[in-house]
Structure 1
Amino acid sequence: MMGVQDEARMAVSRHAARLFVERGVAATSGDDIAAAAGLSKRTVWRYFRNKESCAEPLFDATSLRFIAMLRNWPRDASIESWLQACLGSERAPADLADDVLAVRLLAMLPDEPDLRASWLMATQRAEDALAMIVADRLERSPRELEVRLCAATVMAAIRVVDETISIAAVRHRQTFTNQDVIDRLAHAIRVASTLPICDPVLA
């Protein structure tokens, strides 16, 4: 559950993301973001280190929502069946809106290195959380090198799928069904896993 400051940062992040998508990052100023959010520029800079970092809460929300889903992954379920169960159903309208906005930002990454830095910060936090999931699934320590390597390779695979689909959908007008996304994520996670986490595990 988000606190008041987290909610305020998320609101600013959504406003900044919409401006980045509409105008481009270079054409969006801190004043623009503050005005859209109804805040003073000083307040915005108290929350964020630069304008590109305003995207981090939105990236965090989408990445960590996916990680939260994996945190509930039953031991008797494969990665394919669990992703199908979770992603095959309808999402809340607010979550869907955030996901669409994040996709449009991800499609901008090839031309926006500073925005990519914010995305990588968010995926690093997701990777740390994923290490805990891998460790719990295999009853090992999250500090073990093999566990951390597995979390790193799986998170990198998820990141590549997210970026590839976003760029293809926004820039090249390719169409992806929900099943396409599920299948690509499941395949990428299975291929990238360096530990046996993708199939049912026994206690």
Structure 2
Amino acid sequence: MQAGLRERKKAKTRAAIQRHALRLFQEQGYAATTVDQIAAAAEVSQSTFFRYFPTKEDVVLLDDYDPRMLQALQEQPPDVPPVRAIRGAIRRVFEAIDAADWEREQQRQRLIQTVPELQARAMQQYVKTIELLAVALTEREGLPIDDFNARVLAGAVIGASIGATMHAVGGEYELSDMDLVDQALGLLEDGLPLGGS
């Protein structure tokens, strides 16, 4: 019980730091905003900031969606094929996003698209997401953790998701873009036939 309360407090502090950081980045610009300013706005010490976020970049790149999606994937029925299970997990996570969370996600994406150092780190995060998804797939399917096919499938899922939403780069992501991600994963599930509408 105590551990659960502690984890909730940590999550609340982490979210508050990120919320204040995104607000300051929007008001002052990413480069002009310091860790000291973020910590002061969130009413935490600088050492507390660094306990939650190793760098200023990390406060933007924190993504709560990967853990939620992996949890939702674990909860899919075991007899559902892998890509269909991933589609179900993504749908479940994005149907639960409220307007405030989505606005924060759009702020994050705008920053990532306009700040070169964040763009570079975002690419590293895609690799990490592929690794996390590959491990989740191997656990789900009872395969060795380094299974080649699971890693390739995870990479294909992330690539299909990026391909489906490339139109939004430099613009706004909409929740309806998740329909395009689902459509892209449907193509993946069907063997990626070309020439569709």
1:153 equivalenced with 2:156 (yes/no): yes
AA partner of residue 188 (structure 1): A
Say if 1:66 and 1:88 are closer, same or farther in 2 by CA, change over 3 A: closer
The SS at the match of 1:25 is coil
Q: What residue number does 1:26 align with? A: 31
Unaligned runs of 5+ in 1: 171-175, 196-203
Q: What residue number does 2:194 align with? A: none
The answer to whether the 8 A contact 2:72-2:92 is kept is yes
The answer to whether the 8 A contact 1:55-1:118 is kept is no
Q: Deviations over 1:3-27 (max 9, x none)?
A: 2445433321222122223332112
1:166 deviates by 6.3
The SS at the match of 1:98 is helix
1:184 equivalenced with 2:180 (yes/no): yes
AA partner of residue 99 (structure 1): W
1:112 deviates by 0.7
The SS at the match of 1:102 is helix
CA distance in 2, matches of 1:116, 1:50: 15
AA partner of residue 70 (structure 2): I
1:52 deviates by 1.6
Q: What residue number does 1:165 align with? A: 168
- Deviates most, 33-42 or 130-139: 130-139
1:86 equivalenced with 2:92 (yes/no): yes
Of 59, 68, 71, the residue aligned with 1:68 is: 71
The answer to whether the 8 A contact 1:13-1:56 is kept is no
1:168 deviates by 3.0
The answer to whether the 8 A contact 1:73-1:82 is kept is yes
Q: What residue number does 1:49 align with? A: 54
Q: What residue number does 2:43 align with? A: 38
Aligned residues: 184
Larger relative contact order (CA 8 Å, sep ≥ 6) = 1
1:37 deviates by 0.7
Say if 1:105 and 1:138 are closer, same or farther in 2 by CA, change over 3 A: same
Q: What residue number does 1:142 align with? A: 145
The SS at the match of 1:22 is helix
AA partner of residue 156 (structure 1): G
Say if 1:46 and 1:152 are closer, same or farther in 2 by CA, change over 3 A: same
Say if 1:84 and 1:17 are closer, same or farther in 2 by CA, change over 3 A: closer
Say if 1:28 and 1:106 are closer, same or farther in 2 by CA, change over 3 A: same
Q: Which runs of 4+ in 1 moved over 6 A?
A: none
CA distance in 1, matches of 2:171, 2:13: 32
Say if 1:49 and 1:76 are closer, same or farther in 2 by CA, change over 3 A: closer
The SS at the match of 2:54 is coil
The answer to whether the 8 A contact 1:153-1:193 is kept is no
Q: Deviations over 1:126-150 (max 9, x none)?
A: 3233113332454432311221121
Query: What is the TM-score normalised by the length of structure 1?
Result: 0.69
The answer to whether the 8 A contact 2:65-2:93 is kept is no
- Deviates most, 181-190 or 31-40: 181-190
